[in-house]
């Protein structure tokens, strides 16, 4: 079994890192710890079909060449997903780093869910939701540099389960699910992050209200709505904007957000709420550790990046169940 980040740096690199601190405040033992620790080995999983066209292998070699860190790569294929590769890497590396979009990132998170293996995100997609949520650099070279000693810390992040299946981001029903389904690769290539907004406009007019029977932490609620989201992450993939204020991936709770109608007034209120990061009466918002959703008939929904159908969903939070590399907080 490989022990993550247990090897200390050579003296020459320690001196280089100490120089970085010399311009700042006084150095303490706690300040030095991130600069002394390193990953012995990193295994990169690369999705060649991600939304970016850039020399990612060149960046990896350029950044890690003189770092003393050993690294390997694996490339996703049609019959071998990022999640499949990540499962095979358990116990064989110190860190699994995935280059790709939210689909690849969530697949790796599901594979590593509940294990001690940390993962790193090299954003290569359109929305890059979890990277934005955690403050991971969106520029590829900068995200790789984050893996160098002194730049990172490992943070325990919540996940959820939907009918026993782990998810990292959220479960969407109604308009939000249709929006993801409509934002195909062609639309993303043409509009980039705005593809989801374009898809939302296309699906909004056709949205039909659905009767949702909800059991939120034991409380029974019946509502008719055009959209229902159970989310772990607040970020919507555009800047730092969140679905609603107060959503956190480390609070041990899921957020339930219900949109009752698709009138122009409600849409404008929701857009203003996202822009100003305040609550709106156009949305209903609960926080919980568990929710059961019952429907009158089978309905298509999105769990992370996966299209599924069900008539009943049981969704639970699993606190601190995935470890992800984030920028270090050096004080």
Tens digits of residue pLDDT in 3-58? 444 444 454 544 555 555 455 555 444 444 454 578 999 999 999 988 678 999 99
Together in a domain, 63 and 150: yes
pLDDT at 313 over 60: yes
What average pLDDT score do residues 74-96 get? 96
Global pTM exceeds 0.85: no
1 within some domain:
no
CA-to-CA distance for 136 and 61, rounded, in angstroms?
A: 20
Residue 29 is predicted with a pLDDT of: 44
Together in a domain, 172 and 126: no
Together in a domain, 233 and 310: yes
Q: What is the token pair recorded at 252?
A: 């041990």
52 within some domain:
yes
CA-to-CA distance for 63 and 168, rounded, in angstroms?
A: 28
CB 64 within 8 A of CB 40: no
What CATH number is associated with residue 24?
Answer: 3.40.50.10330
310 within some domain:
yes
Together in a domain, 178 and 54: no
Residue with tokens 């969106």: 138
What CATH number is associated with residue 209?
Answer: 2.60.200.40
Together in a domain, 111 and 133: yes
Together in a domain, 182 and 150: no
Together in a domain, 235 and 297: yes
84 within some domain:
yes
Tens digits of residue pLDDT in 242-282? 888 899 999 999 999 999 887 667 666 666 666 556 677 77
pLDDT at 285 over 90: yes
2 within some domain:
no
Together in a domain, 36 and 112: yes
What's the domain range around 274? 165-320
pLDDT at 157 over 50: yes
Together in a domain, 153 and 206: no
Residue 262 is predicted with a pLDDT of: 72
Q: What is the token pair recorded at 11?
A: 């003296």
Residue with tokens 């993550």: 4
Together in a domain, 149 and 207: no
133 within some domain:
yes
What average pLDDT score do residues 227-256 get? 91
Residue 263 is predicted with a pLDDT of: 67
Together in a domain, 49 and 112: yes
Q: Where are the beta strands (DSSP E) in the chain?
A: 7-8, 37-38, 41-46, 70-75, 95-100, 118-123, 152-162, 165-167, 170-174, 210-216, 219-225, 227-231, 254-259, 283-288, 290-303, 306-327
221 within some domain:
yes
Domain count, the chain: 2
285 within some domain:
yes
Residue 276 is predicted with a pLDDT of: 56
Together in a domain, 177 and 147: no
């Amino acid at each position: 079994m490989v022990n993550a980040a247990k090897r200390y740096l050579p003296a020459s690199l320690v001196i280089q890192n100490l120089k970085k601190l010399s311009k700042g405040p006084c150095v303490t033992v706690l300040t030095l710890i991130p600069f002394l620790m390193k990953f012995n080995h990193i295994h990169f999983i690369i999705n060649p079909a991600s939304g970016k066209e850039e020399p990612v292998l060149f960046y990896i070699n350029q950044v890690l060449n003189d770092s003393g860190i050993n690294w390997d790569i694996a490339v996703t294929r049609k019959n071998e997903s990022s999640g499949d590769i990540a499962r095979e890497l358990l116990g064989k590396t110190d860190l699994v780093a995935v280059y790709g979009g939210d689909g690849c990132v969530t697949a790796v998170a599901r594979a590593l869910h509940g294990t001690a293996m940390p993962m790193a995100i090299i954003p290569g997609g359109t929305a890059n939701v979890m990277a934005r949520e955690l403050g991971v650099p969106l520029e590829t070279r900068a995200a790789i540099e984050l893996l160098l000693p002194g730049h990172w810390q490992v943070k325990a992040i919540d996940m959820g389960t939907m009918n026993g299946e782990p998810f990292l981001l959220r479960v969407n029903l109604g308009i939000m699910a249709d929006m993801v389904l409509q934002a195909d690769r062609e639309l993303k290539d043409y509009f980039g992050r705005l593809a989801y907004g374009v898809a939302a406009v296309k699906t909004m007019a056709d949205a039909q209200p659905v009767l949702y029977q909800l059991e939120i932490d034991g409380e029974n609620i019946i509502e008719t709505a055009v959209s229902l989201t159970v989310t772990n992450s607040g970020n919507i993939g555009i800047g730092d904007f969140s679905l609603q204020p107060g959503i956190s991936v480390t609070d041990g709770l899921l957020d339930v957000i219900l949109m009752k109608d698709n009138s122009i007034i409600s849409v404008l209120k929701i857009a203003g709420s996202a822009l100003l990061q305040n609550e709106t009466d156009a949305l209903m918002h609960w926080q919980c550790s568990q929710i059961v959703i019952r429907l009158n008939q089978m309905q298509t929904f999105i769990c992370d990046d996966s299209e599924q159908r069900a008539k009943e969903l049981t969704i639970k939070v699993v606190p601190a169940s995935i470890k992800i590399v984030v920028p270090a907080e050096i004080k």
